[in-house]
Structure 1
Amino acid sequence: MTALLLPLGLTLATGTASAAGPNDQMDEIDEQATAVAEAARAGTGKKGDKDVLAVPLPITSPVLGVGLVVAGVVFYNPNGAPSPWISGAAAMKTNNDNWLLGGFHSMSLADDRFRFTAAVGAGKLVTDYYGTGDAAGDRDVAAQLDEKTVALRLQPQMRVLPGLYAGVRALAMHVKVNPRDADPAFPDLVIPQDQRNSTLVQLGPAVTYDRRDDSLNPRQGAFLHAEWLWGIKALGSDYKGGKFTAGASVYVPSGTRTVWAFHAGLCDAAGDLPYFDLCLYGQKNDLRGYKAGRYRDGMSWALQAEWRRHLFGRVGMVAFGGIGGIAPSLAQLGRTDFLPAGGVGLRFQPSRATNINLRLDLAVGRDSQAVYLGIAEAF
């Protein structure tokens, strides 16, 4: 067993970037637990090998306050599969009573023919709600909400072609919202009563295609994913609308020191859905430079490119830019309010044994800016 300790782990966004809502919490539990675990990948290729990763992370943010995130991940391989198993947990607490607990597990069976991931989380966060639509985002006025969330996500998949996995995703989430502002500045900032204590249960197909040469710091290949989830009232959901999300990333090397990375993201939410399950612009780093949730609507899209350059030793840099927007629906894509962004960043490889970078990105949007500090690349 190898014990690993890093000073930084989970993604932290400060300044104008912060958690946007319950779905963001689940995304952080899922993606960041995987990222932290991959940092411990060295030495786990054989059956019985095990790595343990402990990550203390001080955080500070105008929204979250001052506090600490503690994460622990076990990376092991009980059946000698090409994709080792990962189990992890994280806890966050800040001085303004924000807290979050989460756990994550992934495993592969039958020589990686079957894959299974699960994430569970519970927490209370203070979030900003700006309303729905581009006009609401442009006015930049928010109502503060206390959101208490309990959520579970399961995803079994089977390999159908080399690199291509197909299966289902199930999401169950209970959200209790307590508005902090009794009389918000604008009527559309009032959360409807039927969405203040509600349950969302969704089920649908999930497809993943992964031909990258490295999951966290790829130089070539492609990664695509798509999920189409629908509310199931028979399973206790208060909503029956559908939500489609998809993303595609392509990596092209240019010499030995440079990589071009390209990413496209799309979200389309339709029908009976709560405010917290709409499409959030800037979510999951689809375009850095905007606070996730400031721009929210029935559809969002983003295109971006990033130039990644190794400078010397363990140090590198990136430059990135892109454009995207939101609209009421995919059919109304022509009504997009364009939201461009760009920025630069530094990279540092803390260990030569693992091909993973710590990143610091400075991003500027149309009328916003953000600082991102975390582990692994944005996409």
Structure 2
Amino acid sequence: MKKVYLLFLIIFYCSLGWAQTDSTKTAVAKVKNIDFNVMPYLNYNRTLEFMFGAIPMMMYKFDKTDTISPKSLSGLSAVYTTNKSYFIASFNKLYFKEDLWRAQVFFAVGNQNAQFYVDDIDVPDFYDYGTKKTILAFTLQHKIVKSFYAGLGYSYAHYSTDYQDNVEPSSVSHTNGLQLIMLYDTRDAVYYPTKGNKIKLRWITYPEWFGNTANANKIFSEYNAYFPMRNGKDVLAGRFSGKFGLGNIVFEQQVAIGSNDIRGYSEGKYRGDGLMDIQGEYRYNFNKRMGLVGFAGLATIYGSDTKDFDWKLYPGVGVGYRYRAFKTEKFNIGLDGAVGKGDWGIYFRIGEAF
């Protein structure tokens, strides 16, 4: 049944892609500087169950005469799930002043009904929890020298969490984070690179003097490399990522294996204060607007409440389908299916995994 459902989703998105080609052409013809599209969202997750919604988004330039800056991307997403979770988010990636400045703005509200694994009680098992959350984050980066950017950012999050059977006491918390960002970017395109490297380092600090209940720090590092294949038609991509929590990391700040790092885990079982992973992906383009991907990787975690999970290797492997959402820009949406260690996941993609 799971295989049949995955096949259905792939066929569904293929048909949507062909159906939207004409509307995209019309939008481009009417408004040359703005590409607009509305993407349906349909997905399944072992924790959130069936998810459906809509994602309107557009690509545009602040200055039509700016031939250096990539197009900016703005969008909204509204998603509801059959386990009664919901998410509403606004996402923006902004490029302007001949790519001298880059900014990101993200805002989301939602109610996430999920689960986590508990083993230090009489009946070790998955237990449900619900978190009402509000998240706001923005960053601004400036080009220092060729290919090197540095910047600052701010993030705010408010969480209200209740746990099934009172396995943990209910909690209400909020965090205020200050970010320092460094980026080295030699990619030939920001949305679908075929060659070059992206090296990014972010340090987020949550000091008590900034309205936090306890001092904590998080460090995010990533190194992505891209290699053209088949005379530039395909891409071989590689990635190393590290997420390191230091200090008093609250439950909602922990990281779980899954999503981009590593696909194939959707139960939320393997979570902790930090995560490291390495993965590779081959992007095969059999059509100007469609393609397939195959990927595999390994991850490990530390700081888990279940100590036996720490520093073990967790593999993930899968395949996916891609469709070009905008005619004038190589920007893909798609669907991935992956399996992990005793787990599996299906992922709707806006852009590539990395």
1:182 alignment partner in structure 2: 165
Partners in 2 of 1:140 and 1:70 — Cα distance? Answer: 38
- Decide which of 296, 304, 310 is 2:285's aligned counterpart: 310
Q: How many residues align?
A: 321
- In the alignment, is the contact (CA less than 8 A) between 1:71 and 1:90 conserved in 2? yes
Structure 1 residues 66 and 324, CA gap change in structure 2 (3 angstroms): closer
- Post-superposition Cα deviations, 1:120-163, rounded to whole Å, max 9, x if no partner, equal 111111011225xxx88xx9832111110111101011111222
Cα displacement (A) at 1:311 = 3.6
- Decide which of 336, 355, 360 is 2:330's aligned counterpart: 355
Structure 1 residues 48 and 165, CA gap change in structure 2 (3 angstroms): farther
Cα displacement (A) at 1:276 = 1.4
Cα displacement (A) at 1:224 = 2.0
- In the alignment, is the contact (CA less than 8 A) between 1:281 and 1:292 conserved in 2? no
- Decide which of 144, 150, 158 is 1:166's aligned counterpart: 150
Partners in 2 of 1:290 and 1:106 — Cα distance? Answer: 27
Structure (1 or 2) with the greater strand fraction: 2
- In the alignment, is the contact (CA less than 8 A) between 2:207 and 2:215 conserved in 1? yes
Structure 1 residues 106 and 252, CA gap change in structure 2 (3 angstroms): closer
Structure 1 residues 327 and 208, CA gap change in structure 2 (3 angstroms): same
2:218 alignment partner in structure 1: 243
Structure 1 residues 58 and 298, CA gap change in structure 2 (3 angstroms): closer
Matched, 1:69 2:56: no
TM-score by length of 2: 0.79
Q: How do residues 333-348 of structure 1 correspond to structure 2 at under 5 angstroms?
A: 336-348=311-323
- Decide which of 253, 269, 273 is 2:228's aligned counterpart: 253
Matched, 1:154 2:138: yes
Matched, 1:266 2:250: no
- Post-superposition Cα deviations, 1:264-320, rounded to whole Å, max 9, x if no partner, equal 01011011120111232224x122112273211222100111222234565433322
Structure 1 residues 363 and 48, CA gap change in structure 2 (3 angstroms): closer
Q: How do residues 285-296 of structure 1 correspond to structure 2 at under 5 angstroms?
A: 285-291=260-266, 293-296=268-271
TM-score by length of 1: 0.74
Amino acid at match of 2:89: G
- Post-superposition Cα deviations, 1:36-91, rounded to whole Å, max 9, x if no partner, equal xxxx8x999xx982233222323444533445322223433233442344433222
Q: How do residues 199-214 of structure 1 correspond to structure 2 at under 5 angstroms?
A: 199-214=174-189
Matched, 1:319 2:294: yes
Matched, 1:300 2:259: no
SS in 1 for 2:245: strand
Structure 1 residues 292 and 241, CA gap change in structure 2 (3 angstroms): farther
More RCO (CA 8 Å, sep 6+): 1
- In the alignment, is the contact (CA less than 8 A) between 1:59 and 1:69 conserved in 2? no
Structure 1: runs of 5+ lacking an equivalent = 1-13, 16-39, 185-189
Structure 1 residues 174 and 79, CA gap change in structure 2 (3 angstroms): same
